[in-house]
Amino acid sequence: MVPQFLLIVLSAASGIAYAAPADPCSAATAATWVSSEVAHACELNVPFNKTRSMSVVDSTIKALQYYSLENWFLHSPNPLIPHDVNVRALLENVQKTTATVGYKSDWDFNMAVSITDAFNKEADGHTLYSADCTEAFSWNLPFAIATLADSPFDKTAFPTFLVNYDFPNQGRSGLEAFFESIGVHVRPLDGSRVLKINGVDASTYLVDLATRSSIFDGLVGAYETVNPRYMRLMSRYSADTVAGLYTQEVGRFGQRAFYPGANSVTVTLQTKSEGIKTVTIPWAATFVGSGNDTASFISQTCLPAVDSAARKRRTLNRRMDATPMNLRRKGVVAPEAQGPVRHAASAAGLAAPGNIVQPNLKSFGHFVTLDIYQLAEHPHVGVVYFEQFEPSDGTGANDYFTGISDTLFSGLNALKAAGVTKIIVDNSGNRGGFIFAGAIALWSLWPQDLYPGFPAVFRDSDLIRRESDVAAASGLGESEYSFFFYRDLNYVLLQNNSQFMDPPVPQVVNGVKDSYSKQFLDDFGNSSAAVTNFTTPPFQGEDYVFVANSICASTCSIFSSYLFQKHGVRSAVFGGTPSSTVSQFDGGVKGSEVTDFDSIIFELDLAGLDDDPAAPQPFPVAAELTLNFRNAIPYIDKQDGILEYVFEPDTKKYQFTHDQFNQPQKIWEFVAEEFFGH
């Protein structure tokens, strides 16, 4: 069968090529939407630069000493959470190629080191390299896929074709006009069952895409087991936009931050009224970088804007930030779409009633990323939706902490006064955020617990040990390696660096000699009274149930793991691969902190160790490198060593159905009935 759309698409593409200016980046940036071919030609036009690339790869290798999971990930002790990655060897191979034959283009180099297929293979969500140059376009299809069943109890579910033009708060403006202009009319196909993708059975294709999660398909790992990676491909409800608005995420099948590896996708559909149809649909791209030709694209997007004076200013700003260093620590995973895409979507700001996802329930409190409701059909059940643990709308950290605490206190008390005795905690899609915000939430629910969180360790090298000695001597508290920010396992403040980083604690991990700090706890004060007005738990462990889609990482995972491990909180997990029977309620990285390359450089400057031969140097390109910085130590299943390897299964597993996948309110009423009855 000749796929529909294909002929039209080819002629449209050649029409664009014919009219295009000679410079590929001028063509790619001249219109809001262009074909992915045109956009990718711009990426490929940036030449490989050996000097710059050698310096990038050298510094990424030197930064590995901060990466707390490096040797753990050589081989996983838990077959349910597989890792067999030697990131150092992969990077050393990239280094060898860079030094010898080189790469075809800057894009090819970035893909190799980038989120490398080296770093990407870690799939831990925290550990990522991305050059601004390779994330300068947002790549989009006019449809998304959700895996849906007729009943939440069905054993299997089926990939469904969803036209995404009208998804609320996803910034689809101009996309339909673009596809219509090139003769691609998808609206009549909405709701079709997807039978095949690129000639392969659709479920098999999608599970394989999630399993490989290859940067060459425009995907990054970010979640450790296949279920959350699969869910990230899927369209799903969330409130994860900049201003905490409810949205239906496009999902990574239909929206990617990296070139998707092909210019079109062919799907065979069981349509509602036209029988079986095969159509080929091209990818569209929109530019989110700066520059309007190759030279300006390189100077404005690919190269760092910061000269040394600007870097010093940034360092100064960091020192003068009103929030103390020990409260700024984060555990967060990168969002789906690039900042400009999310900001544009949120500027359009669609709240109820035009928004089908938005619950229509009595609110008992809303603060940036937190929503509290009482259910209508189960009025003895309340809902607390933790959409994230950090604000993206410019709210300052201290205001955020106070707001979360106050909203929880007033909201939960008001729910109790209204007769609520049970609570649903929805953590679907929560990517984490400030560790302190997670701690405030934990302490609000369990104010009598001595410490809200997990013990942790930093990785310790000779260079890091010296950084910690300088931090101890200065006593200024500008460095995360200041011993006085932490407590021992009896929750007594550390007195000196010998209780912390110096000397390092030797450890053999997967047969490799390594070293870490002693185990410590973050210091959030010695009583919950400083962060919450609750003095007794507002509800008991059995009164809570999580609603989850497995996408819960980092600070979310620490928060949720703590409720599960310490207080036996149960979970209802929705979605996952079409035939999976068990999922984690928190399927993301569980390492307790992420650091970024700028912070590593800042800490080295601070300690006067920036010229040390072991120290990474600032990148000569605009790029982000984030690394999992601390390992958390679990309370259960300690034999596997770190929290990362504790598989935390759902209590019950459900499918998303056609009539509730985009309506959290229906999901919550269903879960209330299942777990708490009438």
List the one residue from 173, 363, 496, 581 that touches ligand NAG (CB under 6 A).
Answer: 496
The beta strands (E) that lie in 465-603 are given as 486-487, 505-509, 512-516, 521-522, 544-548, 570-574, 593-596
With binding defined as CB under 6 A, does residue 110 bind ligand NAG? Answer: no
* DSSP code for 535: -
The footprint of ligand NAG on residues 378-417 (CB under 6 A) is 405-406
308 contacts ligand NAG (rule: CB under 6 A): no
Q: What are 236's strand-pairing partners?
A: 249
CB of 293 to ligand NAG, least distance (A): 6
Q: Smallest distance from the beta carbon of 496 to ligand NAG, in angstroms?
A: 4
Return the number of the residue (50 or 187) whose C-beta is nearest ligand NAG: 50
521 scored as a contact of ligand NAG (CB under 6 A): no
Q: Are strands 247-249 and 236-238 parallel, antiparallel or unpaired?
A: antiparallel
CB closer to ligand NAG out of 388 and 532: 532
- 657 binding ligand NAG? (CB under 6 A): no
Element spanning 324, H or E: none
Q: Are 267 and 144 in contact (CB under 8 A)?
A: no
* Binder among 60, 120, 482, 532 for ligand NAG (CB under 6 A): 532
Which C-beta is closer to ligand NAG: that of 393 or that of 406?
A: 406
Whose CA is closest to 556, among 451, 673, 430, 667? 430
**For residue 641, what are its two tokens?**
């060593």
Pick the closer one to ligand NAG by CB: 198 or 495. Answer: 495
Q: 10 Å Cβ neighbour count for 310?
A: 11
Q: Are 252 and 246 in contact (CB under 8 A)?
A: no
Interatomic CA distance for residues 397 and 318, integer angstroms: 13
- Is 32 a binder of ligand NAG (CB under 6 A)? no
Q: Which stretch binds ligand NAG (CB under 6 A): 182-190, 460-468, 490-498, 606-614?
A: 490-498
Q: Among residues 48 and 165, whose Cβ is nearest to ligand NAG?
A: 48
214 part of the interface to ligand NAG, by CB under 6 A: no
**Residue closest to 60 by CA, chosen among 14, 118, 11:** 118
3-state secondary structure of 153: coil
- Taking CB under 6 A as the binding criterion, the range among 214-222, 248-256, 473-481, 492-500 that sits at the site for ligand NAG is 492-500
Which among 59-67, 174-182, 496-504, 660-668 is the span making contact with ligand NAG, rule CB under 6 A? 496-504
Q: Which residues, 6 or more positions from 360, have their beta carbon under 8 angstroms from its beta carbon? A: 352, 353, 665
- DSSP-derived pairing of the beta strands 652-654 and 570-574: parallel
Q: Of 366, 365, 186, 412, which Cα lies nearest the Cα of 284?
A: 186
Rg (CA), the chain: 25
Collapse the DSSP code of 54 into the 3-class scheme (helix H, G, I; strand E, B; otherwise coil) and give the result.
helix
Determine the size of the site formed for ligand NAG (CB under 6 A). 16
Applying CB under 6 A, among 526, 535, 540, 639 the residue interacting with ligand NAG is: 526
Return the residues of window 39-58 that contact ligand NAG according to CB under 6 A.
Answer: 49, 51-52
Are 591 and 554 in contact by the 8 Å Cβ rule? The answer is: yes
Least Cβ distance, residue 173 to ligand NAG (angstroms): 22
Q: Show the DSSP H helices in 484-554 as ranges.
A: none
Contact pick of 499, 507, 510, 617 for ligand NAG (by CB under 6 A): 499
Q: Does 533 bind ligand NAG (CB under 6 A)?
A: yes
Alpha helices (H) in 529-607, listed in sequence order: 555-567, 597-606
| CB 645 to ligand NAG: min, Å | 32
The CB-of-544 to ligand NAG minimum distance in angstroms stands at 21
User: x-or-dash pattern for ligand NAG, window 598-637, by CB under 6 A?
Assistant: ----------------------x-----------------
Q: Shortest gap between Cβ of 466 and ligand NAG (angstroms)? A: 17
Residues 6+ apart with CB under 8 A from 614: 62, 65, 461, 462, 463
Site string for ligand NAG, 259-298 (x = CB under 6 A): ---------------------------------x------
Cβ closest to ligand NAG, residue 496 vs residue 639: 496
The token duo for 563 is 């409720």
* Nearer to ligand NAG among residue 301 and residue 532 (C-beta): 532
Chosen residue from 3, 4, 8, 26 binding ligand NAG by CB under 6 A: 26
Sign for the pseudo-dihedral over CA of 529, 530, 534, 537: negative
Nearest to ligand NAG of 294, 628 (CB atom): 294
Q: Where are the beta strands (DSSP E) in 580-622?
A: 593-596
Closest CA to 458 of 328, 301, 632: 632
Of how many residues is the chain composed? 678
**Segment lying near ligand NAG (by CB under 6 A), choices 341-349, 426-434, 491-499, 650-658:** 491-499
The nearest distance, CB 501 to ligand NAG, in angstroms, is 12
495 binds ligand NAG (CB under 6 A): yes
Query: Of the listed pieces 80-88, 493-501, 510-518, 653-661, which binds ligand NAG according to CB under 6 A?
Result: 493-501
Tokens 């999901």 found at: 667
Cβ distance 235 to 254 under 8 Å? yes
Q: Which stretch binds ligand NAG (CB under 6 A): 266-274, 336-344, 527-535, 661-669?
A: 527-535
User: Would you say 523 or 674 has its CB closer to ligand NAG?
Assistant: 523
Which phi and psi angles does 29 have, rounded to 5°? -110, 0
Check if the beta carbon of residue 461 is closer than 8 Å to that of residue 614.
Answer: yes
Which alpha helices (DSSP H) does 32-118 contain, by range?
36-44, 50-63, 87-99, 106-113
Interface with ligand NAG (CB under 6 A): 26, 49, 51-52, 292, 405-406, 495-496, 498-499, 526, 531-533, 620
